[in-house]
């Protein structure tokens, strides 16, 4: 499928489940001094996640233009960009974990046709000190949907020294499986909403030897390994907490905040480990190669990302 087809399929899928499709907000955030650019689909939704009524209702989806300057040093590998399109769907105090996980699994496996055996997920391990519980509820739902697809999904605690351990669902701590605009629970300012998240990864498979040919070859591979074998394709945030002076309290409503990079979904759907070899970048990469001659792959990717990002930033002014 092409990127246009996947964007349309995603929006149609959620429209069919009662969501209103809204246009992308500006890349330059309005009334939000926290970042120079919109870095996620949830950023323009903040006040609605905090409880204000959204004019389009409680179920919203979109494809949001995003720019993440903090990822700039990572550009050059097979999957990082500064500018990207984030497919997003939100429940603003409506459905929660059960619907979100089941729908995402259905979308990935039935609409995009991804083979369930190559999908892995992560969940929040919990933090006793912060009184934030382990997300066993999401684990149970993931196990159910994998079971329906004929897969027994073992849940394991991630530990670097143990690698995959035959697991399908991995508990990670808040450095990986907690989401807020500003980072981990400790990094959040008072009044900021956040929550545990459950990320989904596509496995390009061991036969490509991606890990073995990477700088991480001497370590055990796992779904969050930086080798590029596993690609994070989406993040289900269960945004139900508010940071307060006395710790975390529950928001007045339980929200879902899903964000998934369109470019990465295209790579997974095409089983192409290099997002710069998908239809999103093909023309640009060919032109760069024509003009620059023989240059390193990572340099081509940097040129492609930065040219695209700079163009979209200029168009947003």
Interface with ligand GLY by CB under 6 A: which residues?
40-42, 179, 235, 237, 257, 259
Which of 14, 13, 43 shows the shortest CA–CA distance to 31?
Answer: 43
Our CB check for ligand GLY shows the closer of 6 and 42 to be 42
Smallest distance, Å, CB 91 to ligand GLY?
13
Residue nearest ligand GLY by beta-carbon distance: 259
* Alpha-carbon span 142 to 148, nearest angstrom: 10
Our CB check for ligand GLY shows the closer of 42 and 285 to be 42
Q: How many CB atoms lie within 10 A of CB 253?
A: 17
78 burial class (0-12, 13-18, 19+ CB within 10 angstroms)?
buried
CA distances from 287 to 75, 81, 229, 292 (A): 19, 18, 27, 8
Smallest distance, Å, CB 43 to ligand GLY?
8
Smallest distance, Å, CB 39 to ligand GLY?
8
Q: Are strands 230-244 and 247-261 parallel, antiparallel or unpaired?
A: antiparallel
Smallest distance, Å, CB 232 to ligand GLY?
9
CB 107 within 8 A of CB 61: no
Which of 139, 196, 192 shows the shortest CA–CA distance to 167?
Answer: 139
Our CB check for ligand GLY shows the closer of 168 and 176 to be 176
* Alpha-carbon span 91 to 75, nearest angstrom: 32
Smallest distance, Å, CB 49 to ligand GLY?
10
Our CB check for ligand GLY shows the closer of 124 and 303 to be 124
Our CB check for ligand GLY shows the closer of 3 and 235 to be 235
Smallest distance, Å, CB 237 to ligand GLY?
5
Smallest distance, Å, CB 78 to ligand GLY?
19
Our CB check for ligand GLY shows the closer of 40 and 63 to be 40
Our CB check for ligand GLY shows the closer of 146 and 179 to be 179
């Amino acid at each position: 499928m092409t990127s246009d087809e996947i964007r349309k399929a995603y929006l149609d899928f959620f429209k069919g489940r009662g969501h209103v499709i809204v246009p992308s907000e500006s890349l330059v955030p309005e009334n939000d001094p926290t970042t120079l650019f919109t870095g996620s689909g949830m950023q323009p939704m903040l006040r609605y996640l905090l409880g204000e009524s959204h004019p389009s209702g409680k179920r919203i989806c979109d494809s949001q233009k995003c720019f993440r300057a903090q990822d700039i040093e990572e550009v050059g590998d097979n999957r990082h960009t500064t500018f990207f399109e984030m497919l997003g769907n939100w429940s603003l105090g409506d459905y929660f974990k059960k619907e979100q996980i089941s729908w995402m699994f259905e979308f990935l496996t039935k609409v995009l046709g991804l083979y369930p055996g190559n999908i892995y997920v992560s969940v929040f391990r919990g933090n006793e000190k912060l009184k934030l519980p382990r997300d066993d509820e999401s684990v149970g739902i993931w196990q159910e949907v994998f079971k329906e697809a004929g897969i027994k999904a073992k849940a394991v605690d991630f530990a670097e020294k143990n690698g995959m351990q035959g697991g399908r669902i991995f508990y990670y701590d808040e450095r990986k499986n907690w989401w807020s605009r500003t980072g981990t629970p400790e990094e959040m300012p008072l009044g900021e909403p956040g929550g545990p998240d459950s990320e989904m990864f596509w496995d390009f498979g061991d036969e490509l030897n991606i890990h073995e040919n990477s700088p991480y070859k001497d370590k055990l591979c796992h779904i969050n390994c930086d080798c590029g074998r596993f690609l994070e394709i989406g993040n289900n945030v269960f945004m139900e907490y508010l940071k307060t002076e006395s710790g975390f309290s529950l928001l007045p409503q339980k929200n879902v905040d899903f964000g998934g990079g369109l470019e990465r979904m295209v790579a997974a759907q095409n089983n192409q480990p290099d997002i710069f070899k998908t239809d999103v970048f093909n023309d640009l990469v060919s032109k760069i190669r024509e003009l620059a001659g023989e240059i390193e792959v990572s340099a081509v990717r940097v040129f492609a990302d930065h040219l695209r990002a700079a163009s979209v930033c200029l168009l947003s002014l």
